[in-house]
Amino acid sequence: MSPSKSPDKLVYMANQIGKFFASQGDAQATAGIANHLEKFWDPRMRLAIFAHLEAGGAGLEPLVRQAVAQLKDRGSNR
Query: Could you state, in order of their start, the residue ranges of all structural domains in the chain?
Result: 8-73
pLDDT at position 1: 46
d(CA 10, CA 71): 15
How many other C-beta atoms can be found within 10 angstroms of the C-beta atom of residue 21? 21
The pTM of the whole model exceeds 0.95: no
pLDDT at position 24: 96
d(CA 46, CA 23): 24
Q: Which residues of the chain have pLDDT under 50?
A: 1, 3-4
- Give tens-digit pLDDT for 59-74: 999 999 999 999 999 8
